[in-house]
Amino acid sequence: MYFIKIFDINCFFNDKIKSFIKPLFFLNFSSKHNVLMNKREIKMSKIFTVEPNEFIKNLSEELKNYKEIQAPEWAKFCKTGVHKERCPVQDDWWHIRAAAVLRSVYRLGPVGTEKLRTKYGGRKNRGVKPEHHKKGSGSVIRKILQQLENAKLIKQASVGVHKGRIVTKEGKQLLNKVADIKEIVKKEAVSKKSEPVTEVQSKEDKQTQEAEE
C-alpha cells in the first residue's frame, strides 16, 4: 500500500507521471522509517559505546560498595552451571556476574530468570556424544537478581505481555556513571599517548645540543 516496485512503475507510466507518482508512494513509508530511526537514536545509550568487558569490570568495582550485594558462603564451592567443569577462578566472580546481569537487564529488560539462564549457559561436554546446550545456574542468577532488587538497582515490571525485571532510575545513573568514567579514562589515555613523543624528542634535542657543545 505504501510503495510500489520500481519496475511496475516503469512498465505502466512514462517519465513525467513517474516523477509525480513515485514520491506519493514512498512518502508515508519514508516518514515512518525516519521516525523509527530517530527513536533508535534517542534510545541509543553511551553505555553501549564502551567495551563490554572493561565496562563490566569497572561496574563490578562499583557494586562492591553496596552492602546488599555480597557473595554467599556457598559461592566458593559452586559452579555457574552444569556445563562447567570447575568453580570460578576469580575471588570476586560474584560481583563480576552481578555486573554482567545488571547490564543484561538494562539491555534486555523486562527479562526473567529463565532467559538469563539461557544467556549464561553453554555447551555441555558429554564425552564421545554430541555436545548439548545447558542452561546456567538458576540459583546464582536468582540470588543476584534478588540482591540487585534489594539494592534498588532493578525492579519488577511488565511491558505489554512481557514480565520481568527492568533497571530503575538509580540503576541507570550507576551505569551512566561507569560509562562516563570509562570515557574520561579513555580520553586521558589518548592524550597521554601523544605526550611522550614530544618528551622523547625534546630529550634527544638536549642530548644533541650537549654533544655539540
Q: Which pLDDT belongs to residue 203?
A: 53
The answer to whether residue 153 is domain-embedded is yes
Q: Same domain, yes or no, for 70 and 166?
A: yes
Per-residue pLDDT tens digits for 89-120: 999 999 999 999 999 999 998 999 999 999 99
Angle of helix 169-212 relative to helix 52-63, nearest 10 degrees, comes to 110
| HEC per residue, the chain | CCCCCHHHHHHHCCHHHHHHHHHHHHHHHHHHHHHHHHHHHHHCCHHHHCCHHHHHHHHHHHHCCCCCCCCCHHHHCCCCECCCCCCCCCCCHHHHHHHHHHHHHHHHCCECHHHHHHHCCEEECCCCCCCEEECECHHHHHHHHHHHHHCCCEEEEEECCEEEEEECHHHHHHHHHHHHHHHHHHHHHHHHHHHHHHHHHHHHHHHHHHHHC
61 neighbors 94 (Cβ within 8 angstroms):
no
Q: pLDDT tens-digit profile of 131-159?
A: 999 999 999 999 999 999 999 999 999 88
Mean pLDDT of the chain: 77
pLDDT per residue over 1-53, tens digit each? 444 444 454 555 555 555 555 555 444 444 444 444 444 333 446 788 888 99
Q: Residue 70: pLDDT above 80? A: yes
**199 located within any domain:** no
- Check whether residue 20 and residue 55 sit in a common domain: no
**Same-domain status, 126 and 24:** no
Are 16 and 76 found together in one domain? no
133 and 33 in one domain?
no
Q: Both 83 and 164 in a single domain? A: yes
Same domain membership, residue 39 and residue 105:
no
Give the torsion sign (CA, 160, 161, 163, 165): negative
Q: How confident is the model at residue 211 (pLDDT cuts 50, 70, 90)?
A: low
pTM of the model: 0.66
Per the structure, the complete domain to which residue 13 belongs is given by 6-43
